Amino acid sequence: MSDNPHDDTPINGGYMFNPFAASNIAVYYGQHPLSRHQALLSQCQDPNVDIVILASVIKFFGHGGYPEMDTFAGTCTAKSHEMYRKSKLSFCRFVAASIKDCQRLGKKVLMSLGGPDTESTFTSELQAKQLARTLWNLFGGGTEEPDLRPLGPTPLDGFDISNENLDSSHYETFAAALRSEFARDPSKTYYLSAAPRCPRPNVSMPSRFLRLMDFIWVQFYDTPEDSLSAAQFAQDVRHARAINRSGPGNGSLGGVMMWTGETADMNLDENGRDYKEVVKSALLS
């Protein structure tokens, strides 16, 4: 295995990530009790998973002006001297150990930003640009804060934005600033995704912001009027694909997002297939 943290060339001759596929499955990881015992790598090794989203940065500007993040079911416990001195960040050894292996399998690993009950607002364009630079150095290809990186030196593959604070101020600037940071590292492709709630209009993530994303993972959950019933889910996915192929803007369906990968593993049908396998089969049919 290469020692270059930027080298994410797949080693498994069969799988190659296709960002334009209509059958990609993205799963969130890190906020289920099982996250303490189930390694990130187990999600990446699942042939039905294409993207794993780590959950998550929960405060944009915390102690010392640095972000604060969920501790992946309490597994982020180690701290460098700089972490103690400057921030409330911790080193997530359990998760960090799997990131390079996930990327070598061809799977993409993103960091989630925000979510419900998080502090994720901007007061100025300058603040949005500053956060983009900080995140780049903590999780991306930046090298300015090596002793503060919670997940080690390996750059993640991008960021997933889940703004639910009813204030979209300066988010477009934020997305553009992240793109500018990505351009600093031409050795790999970085992605931006967003996870808006289904009801429209969405004041937290309006359409003009969503157009800046590579992937949009609509939350068909936590909103009863838009939730998909478990019994009809596979049929609903096939129906959505049919509409997508025949309607305006056909070809834009990119797959399905699930909260969470660990939860999907535990949901089995009568044939013993887990949720991810059932949905992947529907997307491919």
Measured between alpha carbons, how far is 92 from 77 in angstroms, rounded to an integer? 7
- C-beta separation of 72 from 94 below 8 A: yes
Measured between alpha carbons, how far is 257 from 53 in angstroms, rounded to an integer? 10
What is the amino acid identity at position 68?
A: E
* Catalytic site includes residue 164: yes
Q: Do the strands 24-29 and 51-59 form a parallel or antiparallel pair, or are they unpaired? A: parallel
DSSP label at residue 219: B
CB count in 10 Å sphere of residue 202: 19
Measured between alpha carbons, how far is 161 from 133 in angstroms, rounded to an integer? 15
Looking at 119, 144, 145, 164, which residue is catalytic? 164
Half-sphere exposure of 99 (CA within 13 A, CB side): 24
Q: Give catalytic residues, as residue numbers.
A: 164
